[in-house]
Amino acid sequence: METDKLNPFVDGELDRETREEMLRAIGNDPQLGREVGNLRQIKEMVRHAYETPPPARGYRPLQGRSSLRGLAAAILLTVGALLGWFGHYLQPAGKNAAMQTLAANEAVAPAADRILLHVDTNDPRRILAALTRVEQMLDTVMEERQQPRLEIVAHGEGLELMKAGLADRPHRELERILSEYEHVTLKACKRTLQRLRKAGQEIRLRPGTDDSRTALDEIVRRIHEGWTYIKA
C-alpha cells in the first residue's frame, strides 16, 4: 500500500474504491493500522492549535498571550510524544524545559540536513532567534559536506514574514538567508490566506512563495518524511 495514500485517507479525500482498498489493507496489516491511527492523532493535535489563529498584523510585542503559548506548548508536547512512530523529535527554538527534555530523551534523531521552521508569530525576537538557530544548523550540515534543505512554513501572524516589500530586521535576515543558502523554500498557509482575503485584505507574498497547501498538511507531511521540526 502506497504511503502517499495515508494523508488523503485520514482526511477523507479518497474515492470509494480506493478507500475500500485502504480499509482492506488496514485489516490485513496491523502496523499500517497503527500508522493511520497515529497520523490521525497528530493531525488532530496540530489542528487544535490552528482553530482560531489571530489576524496577521505588523510586527509588535505580543502581550497577554502566556495562556495561548502554554496551550501551544502542551499541544506540541503531546504531538512530540506521538512522534516516536516517525522516528524523530521536536526542536523548539525557545527555552521550554519540557520540550528540551523530550528532545534529549528521544532515541532516534531526525534528518539533520532537512529542516522545517514553523512560524506562527510576528514577534521579531522569536523569529530572529529561530532564524539564528536554523542558520547554525545549516552551517553545521554544510561543514560535513552535505547540502541542507530548509523549508519555512508560516500561518496566522507568521504570514507577516512572507509578505513582499517589507524591510524590518526579520525580513532582512530572511532575505540574507535566501541569498546565502541554496535550498530554501517558503510556504504560506493556504487557509490563512483564504481567511485574510475573504476579510478584504490583499496579501502580496515574496516571489516564489508556495501557497498551495495548508500549514497543517505541510507540517504533518514533513514530519512524516523525517524532517527536523523547529518552532519559532
The per-residue pLDDT for 45 is 61
Most confident option among 9-18, 104-113, 166-175: 166-175
Domains of the chain with bracketed CATH: 52-231 (3.40.1260.10)
The per-residue pLDDT for 7 is 75
- Which spans in 2-61 are helix H? 6-10, 16-28, 30-50
Structure-derived torsion over alpha carbons of residues 193, 129, 80, 185, reported in degrees to the nearest 10: 50
Q: How confident is the model at residue 112 (pLDDT cuts 50, 70, 90)?
A: confident
Residues 112, 108, 186, 137: is their CA dihedral positive or negative? negative
The per-residue pLDDT for 8 is 81
The per-residue pLDDT for 106 is 36
The per-residue pLDDT for 3 is 58
DSSP 165-183: T--SHHHHHHHHHHHH-SS
Given a contact cutoff of 8 angstroms between Cβ atoms, the answer to whether 102 and 77 are in contact is yes
- CA 61 to chain centroid, in Å, comes to 22
Q: How far apart are CA 157 and CA 121, in angstroms?
A: 5
